[in-house]
Amino acid sequence: MELYKQKSLSRESEIEAVDGKQMTALSIISYAIKYLRGSLVHVLCNRINSFREDDIFWIITLPAIWSDAAKQFMKEAAVKAGIPLKSLQLCLEPEAASVYCQHIPFERLQGGRGISAFQAGTSYMVLDLGGGTADITVHQVLDGGHIKELQKASGGAWGGVNVDGAFVQFLEKLFSIEVVQTFRETHLFDYLELEREFEMVKRKVKVDDSSKITIRIPPSFLEIFRTVTDCADIKEALETTSYRRRVSITGDKLRMEAGILREMFGSIVDDIIRQVGCLITNKRRYDINHIIMVGGLSESEYMQKSIQNAFPDVNVMIPEDPELAVMKGAVLFGFNPSIISARVARFTYGTNSFIPFVKGQHPESKKVVMDGRDLCEDFFVKYVAVGDILPINTVIGPKRYMPIRKKQRCANVQVFASSDPDPYFVTDTNSQFIGLLTFQFHDSKGELDRPVLLKMIFGGTELAVEAMEEKTGNTVMASFEFLDPNDQEKNDKT
């Protein structure tokens, strides 16, 4: 969630713990992966005599709406945790869920109605509602069980943590911000237990439930309330709040109307339904008759019924274990990554380049003179356009790049993404700098005529690049840098 929210993600980006302490996100995530890796290796060593750690191929799952920088971040965190890069692959979570649902009997899909949603040619939506984000994608089944993405991933920060945040705000309104903050700072374990208690409760609330919901409040919380507020009678204190007729407390049991819990789902339900509706109403293009709900928030009966009620003509299907669908599907994906045959470009991708200046065609404001040549700067060299359906390992190029100075040895080509299908300049409103493509000019003769041919490879879970010298055919090392690109740029554009 934090990686999704940060617009400028770097290796030094920090996230805040529940107790307010700051630490670099890279360290926290790598520690978590290292712990999971160590636990698995320990178990396998005890169970399999001939086990070797390099027998493991690791799959890291992540939301489809995450940025290229976030993808690089997760790979670096995994490598820092001790996972070899050659034994690591990223997997998009909605795709993992799709793969999983292909492999389970339909009687284990709630709402299946006996209809096979996975016949060749069938289009369906995957609604992956996780803790931090909602991922919404449209897939189509091809012959042989392969999966093709039809619509670029969409969604937003509409995950379960928003409901958790609303619960904390509810407690603050009942007992005061100071009480909740003091409780979190002084009794962190009890605070996390309260969060877990709420996690179980929020999954059970129903659309039409008029009964009371009970949540156990830790004794330490009640004690802090009395200390901070100097109020011995907590029931009397509740009478002064706007919830006085909807909430009661007896001992360590907080009872509230189910409607309050439904209100905590608030805008995220509306946001999800609105986005799903935009795709469903475009039936002429996608012909979506099935929605598969996965992810932890999909275990909520309220969320399930909200989607079913909003789209009564669509077959809403939920596996028995929606929270585990991504994890299990990732294992299947790891054995057969090519099951995803095509993906949709989320943006128009291209590079910033200089081209020969043409008077009358290019604005004078873009004219620069280098080594006696009139050049036009900030030209958007397009590789793929937003919405393009790209078969796996689609190679675009080669495109020719020349040094702009005679003694130039290194090139840091600026990479841009745009929501416009046909941008002209990288300075256009809808274009955004996302990173660098770095490569070397090996020829040391110091001439300008040292072209390098670049190919970008699309259709995978992440971007890839290949480079070679045009004159010699020699391979040139090239790589993307989506984290801290401004720190590495050397004022080289080609």
Asked if 353 and 226 sit in the same domain, the reply is no
Distance of alpha carbon 366 from the chain centroid? 36
Helix (H, G, I), strand (E, B) or coil at 112: coil
- Please name the helix (run of DSSP H) or strand (run of DSSP E) that holds residue 387, with its range, or none: none
pLDDT tens digits for 38-95? 999 999 999 998 899 999 999 999 999 999 999 999 999 999 999 999 999 999 999 9
- Taking the C-alpha atoms of residue 308 and residue 325, their distance in angstroms, rounded to an integer, is 20
Q: Which of 264, 297, 330 is the last residue of a domain?
A: 264
Asked if 377 and 256 sit in the same domain, the reply is no
Asked if residue 97 is part of any domain, the answer here is no
pLDDT the model gives residue 145: 85
Residue (of 167, 155, 148) closest to 391 by Cα position: 148
Least confident residue range of 137-151, 245-259, 300-314, 445-459 = 445-459
Asked if 487 and 354 sit in the same domain, the reply is yes
Query: Which pair of structure tokens corresponds to residue 366?
Result: 């873009």
pLDDT the model gives residue 122: 87
Asked if 235 and 362 sit in the same domain, the reply is no
Asked if 479 and 356 sit in the same domain, the reply is yes
> Who's near 267: CB < 8 A, 6+ residues apart?
162
- Does the structure show a pLDDT above 80 at 109? no
State the total domains in the chain: 2
Query: Which pair of structure tokens corresponds to residue 481?
Result: 């840098």
Q: Which residues of 38-66 are buried (b: 16+ CB within 10 A; e: fewer)?
A: eeeeeeeeeeeeeeeeeebebbbbbbbbb
Asked if 368 and 242 sit in the same domain, the reply is no
For residue 12, what are the CA distances in angstroms to 28, 71, 73, 85? 11, 16, 11, 21
Please report the beta strands in 320-446, taking only residues with DSSP state E, as ranges in sequence order. Answer: 340-344, 348-356, 367-370, 373-384, 389-391, 394-401, 410-418, 431-440
- Which residue range(s) make up the domain with 388? 346-491
pLDDT tens digits for 345-368? 999 999 998 999 999 999 999 999
Q: Which of 214, 233, 264 is the last residue of a domain?
A: 264
- Does the structure show a pLDDT above 50 at 205? yes
Asked if 352 and 473 sit in the same domain, the reply is yes
CA dihedral 343, 104, 274, 432 (to 10 degrees): -30
Asked if 227 and 350 sit in the same domain, the reply is no
Asked if 472 and 378 sit in the same domain, the reply is yes
pLDDT the model gives residue 486: 62
> Who's near 35: CB < 8 A, 6+ residues apart?
none
* pLDDT grade for 494, boundaries at 50, 70 and 90: very low
Asked if residue 340 is part of any domain, the answer here is no
Asked if 354 and 457 sit in the same domain, the reply is yes
Residue (of 64, 90, 65) closest to 77 by Cα position: 90
Asked if residue 351 is part of any domain, the answer here is yes
Asked if residue 55 is part of any domain, the answer here is no
Distance of alpha carbon 64 from the chain centroid? 5
Asked if 227 and 355 sit in the same domain, the reply is no
Q: Which of 220, 238, 264 is the last residue of a domain?
A: 264
Q: What is the CATH number of the domain that holds 418?
A: 2.60.34.10
Query: Which pair of structure tokens corresponds to residue 309?
Result: 């009620």
Q: What is the mean pLDDT of the chain?
A: 89
> Who's near 273: CB < 8 A, 6+ residues apart?
306, 307, 310
Residue where the block lists tokens 């407390």: 249
Asked if residue 457 is part of any domain, the answer here is yes
Q: What percent of the chain has pLDDT over 70?
A: 94
Asked if residue 204 is part of any domain, the answer here is yes
| pTM value > 0.85 | yes
